[in-house]
Amino acid sequence: MSSELSPIDKAKFLAAKRATDFVEDGMRVGLGTGSTAAWMVRLLGERVRDEGLKISGVPTSARTAQLAQEVGIKVITLDEAKWLDLTIDGADEVDGDLNLIKGGGGALLQEKIVATASDRMIVIADAAKEVEALGAFPLPIEVIPFGWQTSQALVEEMLISMDVLGRDTTLRMNGDAPYVTDEGNHILDLHLNRIGNARELALVMNQIPGVVENGLFIDICDTLVIGHGSGRVETRDINDGTIEDMRLDFVEDDNLFRDISD
């Protein structure tokens, strides 16, 4: 129930609610992964059910695909869609230039592929995700299992020459075993504390053998929707240079707030 949600969860819900206003009938929409994106998928499902909205969704993870199907969204593959009108996804951090760290949910590879195959990417987040400089949140990189320790050593050596405050790296675990992505890979989390030049780091990192992709999303996000627990929602469009402030009502809906696995 809405009365049981924390202010952060309400902020996530409101950001997701505002972002769904950009979805129009007939669109092919990339569906992000994570707690904020899960609100967005549920809300789109409500529009499909109540308004007859007809969209095709391309999920960025198996769990998003499952949720989308549960709420009645038509799910297709990116190969079937070929190109998307819009992708809506969350972020772990976002700076003033709308550059992001993503991958806390382990889906960064599919998220980046889907986002870059879209005319527009909208990022939804609570205000706590805004930062002056990226890096406090551990930066995930996806690596193939073969020789992952060698890849890790090469990453740590590379970080010596980068403008970062920390160089510790850890293998992400799932209990006693390494975490495995939907693509069958592992994730290394880089504890950098602060990234001085995110663009340079993203380019250099992907040159390391064994590294499939990194969680820095540079020049990919077009619009940022920030929700606040008070009901205020701020929408920033980096292309138009516009900032819109509005308030949204938080309406309780038993169906929307039921426990759906994400």
Tell me if 82 is assigned to a ligand binding site: no
Q: Is 56 annotated as a binding residue?
A: no
- What gap in Å lies between CA 242 and CA 221, rounded to an integer? 14
Q: Is 103 annotated as a binding residue?
A: yes
Assigned token pair, 217: 């999303």
Strand segments, DSSP code E, in 120-241 are 121-126, 139-143, 168-171, 173-174, 177-178, 186-191, 211-214, 216-217, 223-227, 232-237
With CA atoms as reference, report the closest residue to 34 among 137, 108, 132, 118.
108
Residue 35 assigned to a binding site: yes
Known binder of ligand: residue 182? no
For residue 52, how many other CB atoms are within 10 A of its CB? 8
Q: Give the 3-state secondary structure of residue 173.
A: strand
Is 6 annotated to bind a ligand? Reply is: no
Q: Is 30 annotated as a binding residue?
A: no
Q: Is 72 annotated as a binding residue?
A: no
Q: Is 57 annotated as a binding residue?
A: no
The two three-digit tokens of residue 238, written as one number: 């980096």
| Calpha distance 174→171 (Å, rounded) | 10
Residues designated catalytic: 111
Q: Which residues fall in the annotated binding site? A: 33-36, 89-92, 102-105, 129
Binding residues for substrate: 33-36, 89-92, 102-105, 129
